[in-house]
Amino acid sequence: MTLRTNLALIVLILTSAYAVDRQRGTTDPDKDPFIGVTSNGEVVGGLFPIRTTGVTTAPVAKAAAQFIAALTAAQRQTTTFAVDDTEWRRWNNVHRAARAGLAFKDMTADQQARALDLLKAGLSARGLEKTRNVMRLNQTIAELTNNFSEYGEGLYNLVIFGEPSATAPWGWQLEGHHLIINYFVLGDQVVMTPTFMGSEPVVASSGKYAGTKVLQDEQDKGLALMRALTTAQQEKAIIEPGAKTGNKAQAQAFRDNLVLPYAGIRASELSPTQQALLMTLIAEYVQNMDDRHAKIRIDDVGAHLNDTYFAWIGGFDPDGIFYYRVHSPVILIEFDHQTPVALRGTTGPSRQHIHTVVRTPNGNDYGKDLLRQHYQRHAHDPAHGHHE
């Protein structure tokens, strides 16, 4: 096991933000083969065919190639990995985690510009704004705690997997405190999960980035859906009674093989208006990726709408503290008001610390199912070996 993995797992265990239900699904990327998030331990096959989407990935490949070209030879050694390397799975939201790749703070101005060009090419304008705001609010934490060694807007690392290509699989990963984006590409298909976005605080009231805010729409749209349900529907959506007193997120770092049964209310039990609110909520997360690829993803999620569940923990008054998740065979979304870590003052979860995570269940996080099928198609091609 690598030093990076040892440090990451130690921090994961010691950090209270990850104290919830680590018994099932906790994985060591160097020991545990990837399975994926499932509802019962069994992967549902045939959900993610290799296909042509008609949406080009050329701008992302070009931006990644230009970023790689700007690296020194030494930087390439620590920033580029094979497309099937287990480094994908070592991401960690904890601020003290060791990270591979090149940090923004260690990039030249030209490298930073090319790194941002890569983010711009892969994300929507709204997704890029959220990404940059999470980074900016990490600077706010540094200012509020006077801890610039562990927090700051430059402490986000970029890694490239494989070689940018129009046909061969490749991808990139952005990793840092409260922000992880895994972006896999095969032909003109894109998988952008796991994606983790969070912040503490979620609104900067002072400092360099005063007025910056994140995750308010995710919060408000989830609450709007819950409040739009009838009393009987709300009772069915609630999976734990009473107030939310701790952290509830299940699918965070090192939970690649999480077994999470469906729970809550099924979308088939919702009215057309309520279903529209659910799809609006899902779109808030999916539309962080490039608009045209987001549309494809939303269509795929919509095709499984009747098998989609909405679950809730906590209050749903206008200022409620809560957790919710959206779970179907092809998407898992979690939103969680978290307990304080950097900013003390309250003991329980608050609206000033939020975690969100998006995953692709049934084996296609990191594009793993697409990669598996790609290798099967090229089983007799020696250029397509892999580690897992």
Q: What is the pLDDT along the chain (388 residues), one digit of tens a residue?
A: 444 544 444 444 333 333 333 335 689 999 999 999 999 999 999 999 999 999 999 999 999 999 999 999 999 999 999 999 999 999 999 999 999 999 999 999 999 999 999 999 999 999 999 999 999 999 999 999 999 999 999 999 999 999 999 999 999 999 999 999 999 999 999 999 999 999 999 999 999 999 999 999 999 999 999 999 999 999 999 999 999 999 999 999 999 999 999 999 999 999 999 999 999 999 999 999 999 999 999 999 999 999 999 999 999 999 999 999 999 999 999 999 999 999 977 789 999 999 999 999 999 999 999 999 999 999 877 665 544 4
Within-domain flag for 207? yes
Cα(100)–Cα(156) distance, rounded to whole angstroms? 10
Cα(88)–Cα(84) distance, rounded to whole angstroms? 8
CA distances from 1 to 5, 34, 77 (A): 6, 16, 19
Cα(388)–Cα(349) distance, rounded to whole angstroms? 38
Range of 181's domain? 17-388
Within-domain flag for 6? no
Cα(2)–Cα(81) distance, rounded to whole angstroms? 15
Within-domain flag for 385? yes
This model's pTM is above 0.75 = yes
Within-domain flag for 10? no
**Cβ atoms of 218 and 335 closer than 8 Å:** yes
> Would you state the structure tokens that stand for residue 244, as one six-digit string?
């939310």
> Residue 336's closest CA among 319, 312, 310?
312
Within-domain flag for 8? no
| 207-224 b/e (C-beta count within 10 Å ≥ 16 → b) | bebeebebbeebbebbbe
Q: Is 178 left (phi over 0), alpha (psi -120 to 50) or beta?
A: left
> Would you state the structure tokens that stand for residue 63, as one six-digit string?
């931006």
Within-domain flag for 302? yes
Domain count for the chain, please give it: 1
Within-domain flag for 83? yes
Within-domain flag for 166? yes
